[in-house]
């Protein structure tokens, strides 16, 4: 029996996943979390075999949750789940240490297959994510301007487009507001933009957030 913690900030989505997985004889959903902070706390308390982790969440996003969980226990198995398949999101999560990345449109049987695969120590990617990764391997051309950002810059950029204030970002990342603003200016310079609004439009254009 594989013990799973389901993490998603959308109640209906999370409840739906929990209900479907609960019907599987091989899976035991031992807990739920609606945000990153709760996910970290419950993972430490419950010690699930696999954390089914939403990527785009308020407070602490999936990337930061992944880093913190693996800092505590490098053997934690994390299967990222997202509606975002465009780069650089999948690559960033993989570099951070997730064992797999699937989309929210993934059929239940494939999700279960992914959970079993990462539980066994393997890696699992849904077809559309695997295609994105293959494109990176076999081409030298970057199609997204966001590829120019560092991992931390990308994290700050996504917090900005999700309407986080500099103070909220600073609190979440344990840095000063001055440091956050330095990141913002660096992001603007690399992307050749000059406002949070333009950053949001650019993120939408490249599929990093949904309209």
pLDDT of residue 119: 96
- Whether the pLDDT of residue 143 is over 90: the answer is no
Would you say the CATH fold of 145-205 matches that of 2-137?
no
Q: What is the pLDDT of residues 55-92, one digit of tens each?
A: 888 778 888 899 999 988 888 999 999 877 666 777 78
Domain 145-205 has CATH 1.10.10.10: yes
- Whether the pLDDT of residue 141 is over 60: the answer is no
Cβ proximity of 8 and 55 under 8 Å: no
Mean pLDDT, range 18-40, rounded to an integer: 93
- Angle made by CA atoms 58, 13, 75, in degrees to the nearest 5: 65
Cβ proximity of 19 and 42 under 8 Å: no
**Structure-token match 């990308």, residue found:** 154
Distances (CA, A) of 103 to 11, 45, 170, 198: 17, 27, 29, 27
The string of DSSP codes covering 85-144 is -STTHHHHHHHHT-SEEEETT--HHHHHHHHHHHHTT--EE-HHHHHHHHHHHT------
- Whether the pLDDT of residue 196 is over 90: the answer is no
Q: Please tell me the class of the 2-137 domain.
A: alpha beta
pLDDT band at 188 (very low <50, low <70, confident <90, very high): very high
Whole-model pTM: value is 0.73
d(C-alpha 47, C-alpha 53), whole Å: 14
The ranges assigned to domains in the chain are 2-137, 145-205
**Structure-token match 């209900």, residue found:** 19
pLDDT of residue 86: 65
């Amino acid at each position: 029996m594989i013990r799973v913690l389901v993490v998603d900030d959308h109640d209906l989505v999370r409840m739906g996943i929990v209900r479907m997985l609960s019907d599987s004889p091989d899976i035991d959903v031992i807990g739920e979390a609606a945000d990153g902070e709760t996910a970290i706390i419950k993972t430490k308390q419950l010690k699930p075999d696999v954390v089914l982790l939403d990527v785009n969440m308020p407070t602490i996003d999936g990337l930061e949750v992944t880093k913190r969980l693996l800092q505590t226990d490098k053997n934690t198995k994390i299967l990222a789940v997202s509606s975002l398949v465009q780069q650089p999101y999948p690559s960033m999560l993989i570099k951070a240490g997730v064992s797999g990345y699937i989309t929210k449109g993934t059929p239940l049987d494939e999700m279960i297959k992914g959970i079993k695969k990462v539980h066994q120590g393997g890696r699992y990617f849904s077809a559309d994510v695997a295609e994105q990764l293959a494109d990176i391997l076999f081409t030298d051309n970057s199609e997204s301007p966001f590829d120019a950002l560092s991992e931390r810059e990308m994290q700050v950029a996504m917090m900005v487009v999700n309407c986080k204030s500099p103070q909220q970002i600073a609190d979440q990342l344990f840095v000063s507001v001055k440091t956050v603003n330095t990141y913002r200016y660096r992001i603007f310079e690399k992307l050749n933009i000059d406002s949070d609004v333009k950053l949001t439009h650019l993120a939408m254009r490249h599929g990093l957030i949904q309209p």
